[in-house]
Amino acid sequence: MKTLNKTPEIQKFRKTKTALLICLITLSLALSSFVWFSDELWPGGYNFFIMLKNNIPFARQMFEKDVYSMPKENLSKPQKIVVTNGERRAVFYNGNSDFNSLHDIIKPFIAETMRSEDKVANSQKVSEEEWFNVLRNDELLDTRSIYVNYSLSYSTSLFAHMIGLRNSWISRDISAVKEFTMAPLSENEMLLYIRDSATNDIFKYHVTYDAAGGFLDAVDSYTKNSDMPAPFSFELNLNKNTEGIGEGVVQKVFLNAMITVSTSSVESAVVESENPLIPGGDRADAISDIFRTKTGITRRYTDSSGVLYFVENYSVLKIYPEGLIEYKADNESMGIEISDESVSLYESLNRAIEFSEKVWSAAAPDEPFNVLVTSDLLESESGEYHFTLDYYYEGVPVTVEASSDNFENMNHAVEIDVKDGKIIKYRHFIRKYEKTDKTVTNPSSIEALDTIYKKYASAEEETQIADIFLSYIEKGDISEKSPVWCAKLQGTDETVY
Amino acid sequence: MKKIIAVLVLIFTIIISQTCYAAPASVSAWDGGNISGLVIVKKPETAVSTTTKQIYTVSALSLEGVEVSIYKYNPYTGYFDILRDGYGNPVSNVVGATGIYVRDIALDANTNYLMVRAQYGGIYQNIRFDITLMDQGLLDSIQGFATNFGSKFGGW
């Protein structure tokens, strides 16, 4: 009887024990998962689950959220596309309307050619003259072609990654890419020319491509409404010393052959700059959290000029009132770890971009991070990379030239030094741009070049111009900004305007 | 009063002198100028050329401060008249520091007899060149023939 009375109590006790056990198991699993799946709690390279996530695409998809990244999206897009159709020509810049739809036609063709060697019937090295002839529309050539310029050199393997391939057979011929020219031959045949930006060699590929007809249509439709000549510099013989009609005048300024010369004035939007980084407050804490290492004890103070310091054992983070975030690891081995693949350019670049996005989100929450990668992306055997990113507004780049008594001159929106998978130096000039209702009319690029050339100190010597482009100039002041013509000199990073 | 007259005379003299040295409205077909080495026409490269582009870009090299203008032959007068843009302004520019001159001109069908004039003060040089604007349809026919010929006899 006594036993019978106790049975419900025992059952109740057992149920409680079971519930408690389930709770404990669930809790232990949850806590273990934090250890298993966290990069933070394992020494670099030893976490099996992280390795699994990084190496198996399916696992990667399972573990990672698909976060949209504007800088990464821009990496796979060219800066300029020039479509030539007989005597008509149209120029499109990243950010212009129609640019993306045109790029959607071009990208699959480049990807298909770089993926499938069996689609290529012939390949050969050709002269620059042939490259020019495919593009020129000033002679008796019925030219139908598309020229694509990425503005920076990519190692071929990185470029393949950027357009969704693991690698490309073309890297046997070409080590670095920047410029492509393509010409539809028929409904299913195309010519693809690629210039090796490291050696300047040009390779021509005769490709079987089922959608070549779409190219022919695109060439027609994208030039239909274009009435501007936009000649390449080589079409005007301004790229080198050539004979003309007459003699006796010495050419002192040479334009890169692929510059498209504007012969009429250009109207552009006036923008207003803003520093969204309010000194002090929650944003500074959120930013410092991104740079905080695992071991460091952070000391925080503000100096007399308003610079906020976060000092750790091996690094210093400074937030300047002008909107500059500056981090430097005193000991390079103690930098911020972004990748365990220390020699992979692709991984280093991706992680560096993700890092800069985190900094931007903390500094300017909910604002779009409109930047382009502006440093060449070439493999480095030392595992050391210097990446730069720059803002742009509606296709017009922003040239940063910020200086102050407080900090070293800043010439890009973001500068990132990565060594062996660690960020050892990071500088980010925080600015956002809003459109005003004002517009400004700039003269033609040739007229502007006269003014630029006069300002250039070494004007007496022979001058090679690598590029002419419109750009907003960011000097750090909060004001309205109109784009101005800028020239980049060959072989230097110098921009003159 | 004397001062006012002096100033007026000075202004008048400046205007007159500038008018004298401005690009003239018409130039004789036989006038090659009084100097050489003042200008080189880079595009077109040769004195006789053919194109399919109705809007054609002329490029030239000269010296800073030189006024470069483009003229077209007028068969009714036998002279070369200065070209005018869509707004009626003469196609004339003073060359800047780079020495580069670039200008779009509209070509007529068939042969366009053109002249570039470079002028600096009282010195000037005229260079003649002809550009024939070819009809795209005719060109397509020629190229169609060339393509067929090429496909029959090899090459890619």
Q: Which DSSP string corresponds to A29-98?
A: HHHHHHHHH-STTS-TT--HHHHHHHH-HHHHHHHS-----HHHHHHTS-SEEEEEETTEEEEEEBTBTT
Task: Name the pLDDT band for B152 (thresholds 50, 70, 90).
Answer: very low
Task: List, for residues A99-110, the tens digit of each pLDDT value.
Answer: 999 999 999 999
Q: In terms of domains, do A41 and A175 share one?
A: no
Distance from CA of B61 to the nearest CA of A (A): 7
Which residue did the predictor score with more confidence, A13 or B81?
Answer: B81
Would you say residue A34 has pLDDT above 80? no
Integer CA distances (angstroms), A45 to A52, A90, A350, A423, in order: 11, 50, 18, 17
Q: Which of B91, B150, B121, B125 is nearest to B17 (CA)?
A: B121
Candidates B109, B114, B107; CA nearest to B41 is B114
Q: Do B57 and A235 touch (CB under 8 A)?
A: yes
Residues of B in Cβ contact (< 8 Å) with A248? 36-38, 40
Other C-beta atoms closer than 10 Å to the C-beta of B130 total 16
Query: What CA–CA distances, in Å, run from B137 to A142, A267, B112, B134, B140?
Result: 11, 35, 19, 9, 5
What is the per-residue pLDDT across A443-473, written as a single tens digit (0 to 9) for each? 999 999 999 988 875 656 788 999 999 999 9
Kindly tell me the sign of the dihedral angle through the C-alpha atoms of B70, B71, B72, B73: negative
d(CA B41, CA B59) in angstroms, rounded, equals: 6
| Domain end call among A386, A401, A429 | A429
Tell me the average pLDDT across A196-222.
93
Q: Please report, rounded to a whole number, the percentage of residues in chain A having pLDDT higher than 90.
A: 48
- Cβ neighbors of B149 (< 8 A, separation 6 or more) are none
CATH of the domain at A339: 3.30.310.160
Suggest the residue from B102, B120, B134, B145 to mutate for an interface test with chain A (most A CBs closer than 10 A).
B102
Q: Mark whether A129 and A109 lie in a shared domain.
A: yes
- CB nearest A86 (choices: B40, B57, B136): B136
Within this chain, do residues A107 and A225 fall inside the same structural domain, yes or no? yes
| A264 and A333, same domain (yes or no) | no
Tell me which chain A residues have a C-beta less than 8 angstroms from the C-beta of B134: 140
On whether both A205 and A312 belong to a single domain, the answer is: no
Residue A158: in which H helix or E strand, if any? helix A156-162
pLDDT in tens, A58-77: 555 444 444 556 677 777 88
Domain that holds residue A100: 71-230
Which residue does chain A place closest to B139, by CA atoms? A140
* Local structure of A470: helix, strand or coil: strand
Domain match, A111 and A137 both: yes
Q: What is the pLDDT of residue A110?
A: 95
Query: What pLDDT was estimated at residue A63?
Result: 47
The domain limits of chain B are 25-134
pLDDT at A429 over 70: yes
| pLDDT: which is higher, A273 or B147 | A273
As a whole number, mean pLDDT of residues A146-174 equals 91
Segment A74-103 shows an average pLDDT of 88
Q: Do B98 and A249 touch (CB under 8 A)?
A: no
Mutation site for A-interface testing, chosen from B39, B41, B42 by largest number of A Cβ within 10 Å: B42
Q: Are residues A221 and A76 in the same domain?
A: yes
Calculate helix-pair angle for A99-115, A212-223, nearest 10 degrees.
150
User: Does residue A495 share a domain with residue A382?
Assistant: no
Write out the DSSP string of A300-345. Answer: EEE-TTS-EEEE-SSEEEEE-TTSEEEEEESSGGGSEE--S-TT-H
Distance of residue A227 Cα from the nearest chain B Cα, in angstroms: 8
Please tell me whether residues A453 and A403 are part of one structural domain: no
Q: Who among B37, B50, B61 is closest to A251 (CB)? A: B61
The pLDDT of residue A82 is 95
Position with higher pLDDT, A372 vs A428: A428
Residue pairs spanning A and B at CB distance below 8 A: 121
Write down the mean pLDDT value for chain B. 83
A144 phi/psi in degrees, rounded to 5:
-130, 105
CATH number of the domain residue A445 falls in: 2.40.128
Residue of B nearest to A253 (CA): B98
From A247's Cα to the closest Cα of chain B, the distance in A is: 5
Decide if B136 and A263 are in contact by the 8 Å CB cutoff: no
Which tokens hold the place of A382?
Answer: 């030392």
CATH number for the domain running over B25-134: 2.60.40.10
A216 plus A148 within the same structural domain: yes
Answer yes or no: is pLDDT of A42 > 80.
no
Please state, for a pLDDT cut of 70, what percent of chain A lies above it: 87
Bridge partner residues of B69 (DSSP): B92, B117
Interchain contact, A251 vs B99, CB within 8 Å: yes
How confident is the model over A245-280, as pLDDT tens digits?
Answer: 998 899 999 999 999 998 888 888 999 999 988 766
CA angle A371–A408–A434, rounded 5-degree value: 35
Question: How far are the Cα atoms of A103, A221, A396, B147 from residue A98, in angstroms, in the given order?
Answer: 9, 11, 16, 33
Task: Give pLDDT, residue A33.
Answer: 76
Residue B101 pairs in a beta bridge with B60
Least confident stretch, A40-54, A473-487, B23-37, B76-90: A40-54
Provide φ and ψ at A185, rounded to 5°.
-100, -40
Amino acid at A394: E
Whether A253 and A294 share a structural domain: no
CB A277 within 8 A of CB A363: yes
Query: To which residue do tokens 């011929």 refer?
Result: A173
**Average pLDDT of the segment spanning A391-400:** 89
User: Strand ranges (DSSP E) for A88-233?
Assistant: 88-93, 120-126, 144-155, 176-186, 189-196, 202-208
DSSP string, A370-385: -EEE-S-B---TTSEE
Please judge whether B156 and A453 are an interchain contact, meaning their C-beta atoms are less than 8 angstroms apart: no
Instruction: Reply yes or no on whether the pLDDT at B151 is more than 80.
Output: no
Q: How far is residue A72 CA from its own chain's centroid?
A: 6
Residue B95 is given by DSSP the state: -
Q: How many CA atoms lie within 13 A of A31 on its CB side?
A: 6
Residues found in chain B? 156
Number of domains in chain A: 4
When CB atoms are compared, the residue of A236, A244, A248 closest to B102 is: A236
> B interface toward A at CB cutoff 8 Å?
36-47, 50-57, 59-63, 96-100, 102-104, 125, 127, 129, 134, 136, 139-140, 143, 156
Do A223 and A105 share a structural domain? yes
Token pair 């196609």 is found at: B91
Residues of A in contact with B96 (CB under 8 A): 447, 449-451, 453-454
